[in-house]
Amino acid sequence: MKYVIVGAGVAGIQAARAIREQDQTGEILMISADVHVHSRCMLHKFISGERDEAGLDFTERDFFDKYRINWKKGLRVTAVLPDKKEIRLDSGETLSYDKLLLANGADSFIPPVGQLREASNVYGLRNLSDAQAIVKEAETAKRVLVIGSGLVGLDAAYGLIERGKKLTVVEMADRILPVQLDAHAAKAYEDLFEKAGVRFVLERKASEAVCQPDGKIHKVILDNGEEIPCDLIIVAAGVRSSLACLESSGIDCQRGVTVDSCMRTSAADVYAAGDVTALSGIWPNAADQGRIAGKNMCGLTARYTDTYAIKNTINFFGLVTLCVGRIQKEEGDQVYIREDQRQYKRILVKDGRVEGILFQGNIAGAGIWQYLIKNQIDVSGIDKDIFDINYGDFYQVGDRGKYEWAV
């Protein structure tokens, strides 16, 4: 059996592990544009100079030998031909497969604002190669503009603070990390970043940016006319699944590659996992999907059932936050808040079910909340402060992690 995996991110790596655990003799070939296995969540540590390329690797040192994987790195798949069970590479090679996994992630999206797409000093932050280019540009750049204050934008800013840059972050929403946080939790991070010298411009969009004769943009104009001078621009305005190599493949795609719960695509023996599916966009889910795809590629039946809208642990300046489920308040929600000097906790309950938690400062004991959200357990009947719910309030049914209220 010949397994081919496109992508050496967490989805591809976890799939390869799962395949080797099931199939000791099959051939595993991994192909990636990346030349280093690296955690994208750690790229800010490379930008800050805290870690080198090797320090971003999230696999064991002998991973490829141990799992007997042939890794072709620095190569791009340019076409997938399911009818022939072949893929084409940018090297001109054509390779065959018995089972194929698409784990080729996503690309930064640079919006078509002015000449952002043409300028030589504008970068997304997705790959180690982006971080390397940003570090190089930062050697001479004094003023940095970050467009977007999601996790990626703030990671970029966080990394560059260490390099002593004058940083401005522009955000369309009324707070930073608008997907993950409410206004209160966001303010805690805003204060910490501002203390470190970052200036936030909220509720504003970039509306014009013109290249100068040196090919660079030296100021960006916002929608209120304000001009932000800059020598380096990092655009963190979202990602798009990497679908270019699938254009003439006939494989069903919408925002991402369409998959069923076994991670099968519309083409026989072709699977997809991770950000390329656009199901989630976060690391733990990409890892789960990769593992599940790998098992299914070996003939087992495993299903992906994680439906959390959000599941993030955030840590800037030592302030840790966990958000799971739904964060934005909706009509009919009961909102529970507990706050003291050490922590801020917010729980959203709708129709007796916990739909989202946001814990900042102290995230201990969060496992129970993830369980309640995932299994939609009715908490309306419990006669105690909701924040004091713990595993002791349940008894376990069977031995596979199922719980019911202990009454």
Q: How far is the CB of 73 from ligand FAD (least distance, A)?
A: 8
Q: How far is the CB of 351 from ligand FAD (least distance, A)?
A: 28
Distance from the first to the final alpha carbon of the chain: 53
- Among residues 50, 317, 127, 110, the alpha carbon closest in space to that of 233 is found at 110
CA–CA distances in Å: residue 281 to residues 15, 155, 242, 249, 288:
17, 16, 12, 23, 12
Query: What is d(CA 211, CA 208) in angstroms, rounded to the nearest whole number?
Result: 10
Closer residue to ligand FAD (CB): 151 or 186: 151
Q: How far is the CB of 283 from ligand FAD (least distance, A)?
A: 3
Closer residue to ligand FAD (CB): 155 or 377: 155
Closer residue to ligand FAD (CB): 245 or 377: 245
Residue 41 backbone phi and psi in degrees, to 5 = -65, -15
- 234's torsion region: left (phi>0), alpha (psi -120 to 50) or beta? beta
Q: How far is the CB of 124 from ligand FAD (least distance, A)?
A: 8
Closer residue to ligand FAD (CB): 106 or 217: 106
Query: What is d(CA 4, CA 30) in angstroms, rounded to the nearest whole number?
Result: 6
Q: How far is the CB of 213 from ligand FAD (least distance, A)?
A: 32
Closer residue to ligand FAD (CB): 20 or 40: 40
Q: How far is the CB of 12 from ligand FAD (least distance, A)?
A: 6
CA–CA distances in Å: residue 130 to residues 23, 54, 125, 148, 219:
36, 16, 5, 16, 21
Closer residue to ligand FAD (CB): 40 or 291: 40
Binding site for ligand FAD (CB under 6 A): 6-12, 31-34, 40-41, 43, 76-77, 103-106, 125-126, 151-152, 155, 242, 245, 274-275, 281-284, 286, 312
- Among residues 296, 298, 297, 293, the alpha carbon closest in space to that of 276 is found at 293
